[in-house]
Amino acid sequence: MATTDSGDKLAQDMGFTRLPGEWTREHEDFRRPYVLYLDAKDSKSTLVRRYLKHKRNLERRRKRYEKQVAQVAQDKE
């Protein structure tokens, strides 16, 4: 949620996508909802790129572990 112009700019700079809709409150000029798509491969957001890199590394480690377990099981036979 962005409630000020600077918050609005910050959300956009961080790679958040604006959702449709806007409403006002008693002590705010506006409220704008945003969402961050973590699986967007074409995102320029540092946060999203770091998340995707971490996700790739976890998948790589999982595959390596599964291969090691299979190798140990095969060696025991």
| Structural domain total, the chain | 2
* Residues 28 and 47 occupy one common structural domain: no
- Say whether both 8 and 25 belong to one domain: yes
Residue 17 · residue 46 · CB < 8 Å: no
- Same domain for 65 and 77? yes
In a shared domain, residues 62 and 32: no
Domain range holding 45?
A: 39-77
pLDDT tens-place values along the chain, 77 residues long: 667 778 888 888 887 888 887 666 666 667 788 888 888 888 878 888 999 999 999 999 999 999 999 999 988 87
**Distance of CA 59 to CAs 16, 42, 53, 62, Å?**
25, 20, 10, 5
pLDDT digits (tens, 9 = 90+) for 44-60: 788 889 999 999 999 99
